[in-house]
Structure 1
Amino acid sequence: MENKRVLLLFVDGFGIGREEKAAYNPIETGDLPSIQSLLKEGIPVPTDATLGVPGIPQSASGQTTILTGVNAPKVIGKHLNGFPNKELREIIEKENIFIKLKKLGLRVTNANAYNKKFISNLISNSKAVEEMSVSTVATLSAGLSLRTEEDLKKQTAVYQDITNRIMLEKWKAKVPIRTPREAAETLGEIVKKNDFTFFEYFQTDLAGHRKDFENAYRVLEELDQFIAGILESFCFKNTLFIFISDHGNIEDLSTPYHTMNKVPMIALGNGSNEFRLRVNSIQDITPSIENYFE
């Protein structure tokens, strides 16, 4: 039997909508066959993101919790938005999933591509660490290399918007526009070469903050096609696919803020039934992945 593999697909700001807010939920009203099928037939686990801490769940503390298994809001006494502060960075640098799985002798990787200008700024600006995302801190502290636009050209990385459009238009990088299904094929090849692969998509959270249905539909449709490509090309006999978010947002466009809604944890493929039974909150993701490999 081939070695077991995991793909952790982290989608920022994607909660389970409430029935009374259905008219404001582009996940329900959009043309999203793959996502809607997963939410109905993928046996999603409604997963707590509040973690017993008062207030609305936020990105920095929620993502730290997902990627470490530590209840970050409880440690710092609040939910923290944006980038991780010093206290959260210390948790990430010691407890992140990349480090834990490397200690088990596993091949781990972050499939996201970064702009080389961003990486140069990290090297030259000592304060740049204050604007590093949770996943970036985790990747670097585990001694992993960041993929760049050169990897996008070689089809050995996927950009955070899936299509490379932002890399091309904002950063003026000479990279090809990809379809979501082409990006899914690239991700599939990365998964085959590693035991644990992480990919982060945060356009959903940005769309939720904008309260713009047209933009939300576009973002979700690209994600839907990306997921369709993943489901079509992956060998689930030896691969566990995990979909998780840090908090709700895009499922309720009546507000520009995050929501208190639970998030869907979807597990498909090898070991998925047991994995679902282990997850009640976003704090359970990392320890459940560790258990899967042990």
Structure 2
Amino acid sequence: MSGIVWLALDGVGHPQDAPDGSVWDQPLGTLRPLVDAGRCLDATLGVPGLPQSGTGQACWLTGRDTVRVMGEHFGPHPGPTLQRLLQAEALPVRLAQAGGRVALGNEYMPAYFHALESGAGRRNRMGCFPFAFRAAGVPLNPPGVPLLGATLGLPYARPWAGVGEEGAALDALARHGAALARAATEVDLLALDLWFGDLLGHAGTPDVPGDALAAGRSYLRRVDALLSGLLGAGARVVVSSDHGNLEDLRTKGHTLARVPFAGAGVDLGQPGNVVQAGQVLSGWFGLPAPLPGA
């Protein structure tokens, strides 16, 4: 199978586990039906503590229970142990080794590359997705791909201006989705690391800040528009998330919520957790699942 676009949400728990009045409680004409028709997955893997992006994303990317490997939920960035696993077993790495074509559609600014270079020899500050795609031997900001910022046009930090005047932004994102669908015909896997949902989720407080709720709802509307453009152009699409956070803005931290696994033009199978779903992903490309206990 080829031409799959992977929208990898970060920190967006399933609507079934969201409280009333959450970011999910709004019209999302493309995203919500897709999520409702998909799977609702466990992200805790039976390990105490709150799921984290490092191990959560590594589970998706490798199909291995990286929480058990680490002995705990770990993140946000992969340390040496997870880096070794990603270098050896991440989906883009294995696909590239098998002769497949992979690309990460995120747009990275010069400051990002400067921070990576200036941090040489220190703790890794790169997330699992850019780390895995670089380990596959492909560049960030790949040529020929319509690159997209993970904020989807929202400001990175407060004030999240423009939430009430987003019509033009939604139209632009739908067109961008169509452009990504066309680019995906040239590769086997085109991923987008949509990490901004987790950042917005960390703005939560017990009284649910109104600006964070408005921004979170706007962000999901933007994901909805992007998805609409992708599907309207005939793309095969998968939507995932690594852990809960944004769906419950009553708390600043991550949550124990289950996470979505949804798709169009793909067979989701019957996974119950994020590890099994990662194995489903690799199976689409004919790659074997990890050996038990390896």
Across the aligned residues of Structure 1 and Structure 2, the Cα RMSD in angstroms comes to 2.5
What does 1:66-85 correspond to in 2, within 5 Å?
Answer: 66-85=60-79
What SS does the aligned partner of 1:188 have?
A: helix
Supply the distance in 1 between the matched residues of 2:198 and 2:115 (Cα, whole angstroms).
25
> Measured at CA, do residues 97 and 75 of structure 1 come closer, stay the same or move farther in structure 2, by a change above 3 Å?
same
What does 1:124-273 correspond to in 2, within 5 Å?
Answer: 124-127=118-121, 130-147=124-141, 156-163=146-153, 179-211=172-204, 212-235=212-235, 239=236, 241-269=237-265, 272=266
Supply the distance in 2 between the matched residues of 1:120 and 1:207 (Cα, whole angstroms).
24
State the TM-score, normalizing by the size of structure 2: 0.83
**How much does 1:133 deviate?**
0.7
**How much does 1:146 deviate?**
0.8
Which whole-Å deviations, capped at 9, do the CAs of 1:160-213 have from their partners, x for residues lacking one? 1233865xxxxxxxxxx8821132123212211101111111221122221221
> Measured at CA, do residues 229 and 63 of structure 1 come closer, stay the same or move farther in structure 2, by a change above 3 Å?
same
Name the structure 2 match of 1:289: 281
- Sequence identity percentage: 25
> Measured at CA, do residues 155 and 64 of structure 1 come closer, stay the same or move farther in structure 2, by a change above 3 Å?
closer
Query: Which segment drifts farther, 110-119 or 241-250?
Result: 110-119
Supply the distance in 1 between the matched residues of 2:2 and 2:124 (Cα, whole angstroms).
35
**How much does 1:47 deviate?**
0.9
Supply the distance in 2 between the matched residues of 1:190 and 1:284 (Cα, whole angstroms).
28
Supply the distance in 2 between the matched residues of 1:201 and 1:31 (Cα, whole angstroms).
20
**How much does 1:46 deviate?**
1.0
What does 1:17-36 correspond to in 2, within 5 Å?
Answer: 17-18=15-16, 22-27=19-24, 29-36=25-32
**How much does 1:107 deviate?**
0.9
Supply the distance in 2 between the matched residues of 1:165 and 1:188 (Cα, whole angstroms).
25
Query: Does 2:7 correspond to 1:16?
Result: no
More helix by share: 1
**How much does 1:128 deviate?**
5.8
Unaligned runs of 5+ in 1: 167-176
Q: What is the aligned residue count?
A: 268
Which whole-Å deviations, capped at 9, do the CAs of 1:258-281 have from their partners, x for residues lacking one? 111111110211xx3xx3224221
Name the structure 2 match of 1:94: 88
State the TM-score, normalizing by the size of structure 1: 0.83
Q: Following TM superposition, where does structure 1 have runs of at least 4 consecutive aligned residues deviating by more than 3 angstroms? A: 163-166
Supply the distance in 1 between the matched residues of 2:249 and 2:115 (Cα, whole angstroms).
35
